[in-house]
Amino acid sequence: MSKNTVSDRFRKVDVDEYDENKFVDEEDGGENQLGPDEAEVDSLIRQGNLMGALQAVLKNPPINTKNQNVKDRAEGLVLKVLSSFKASDIEKGVQSLDKNGVDLLMKYIYKGFERPSENSSAILLQWHEKALSAGGVGCIVRVLTARKTV
């Protein structure tokens, strides 16, 4: 059959963009969210204060920002802290967090699963197990239903 010579660019149009009823999330002003303080977290890790580092890295989560770099940096920092924990201390680390902290930790864990590096998944799985026993399946449901996440 002869080749179609008419343009088929229309096939690549995202029709959802033109839907007048398209659901747009509320803007929450995330321009000033910078993520956890890298310097503070690094110094706490160097001092060996891992509990403190955990608390620090879970501060200022870049939830509302559209800046992908900020989000990537935050994730990298969290991964650094999670990896520096000894396996036996993970449970204590999770216990030191409040409900919101556990939810936020679970968000970072699943974000970490998305881009695995050499040993990250194994460490994240250990943290996942402890966070699950603290937060229950409800915690995971909140990761899945969050419109704006880390």
Partner 1 sequence: MHFVQMKTKIALCPNNHDVHIYKKEGNGWTKTQVLKEHNGQVTGIDWAPESNRIVTCGTDRNAYVWTLKGDVWKPTLVILRINRAARCVKWSPKENKFAVGSGSRLISVCYFEQENDWWVCKHIKKPIRSTILCLDWHPNNILLAAGSCDFKCRIFSAYIKEVEEKPAPTPWGSKMPFGEVMFESTGTAGWVHGVCFSESGNRVAWASHDSTVAVAEGGKTAVITSLSSETLPLLCVTFITENSLVAAGHDCYPALFVYDGEKGTLTFGGKLDVPKQSAQKGLTARERFQNLDKKATSDTKEAVLESLHKNSISQISILQGGKAKCAKFCTTGMDGGMAIWDVKTLESAMKDLKIV
Binding site for partner 1 (CB under 8 A): 21, 23, 99, 103, 135-139, 141-142, 145-147
* Residue 20 CB, nearest approach to partner 1 (Å): 12
Q: For partner 1, which is the closer residue by CB, 117 or 133?
A: 133
3-state secondary structure of 149: coil
Q: Counting every residue, how long is the chain?
A: 150
Q: For partner 1, which is the closer residue by CB, 79 or 143?
A: 143
* Residue 146 CB, nearest approach to partner 1 (Å): 6
Going by C-beta distance under 8 Å and a sequence separation of 6 or more, which residues neighbour residue 106? Answer: 128, 131, 132, 135, 139, 140, 142, 143
User: What is d(CA 74, CA 53) in angstroms, rounded to the nearest whole number?
Assistant: 13
* Residue 123 CB, nearest approach to partner 1 (Å): 24
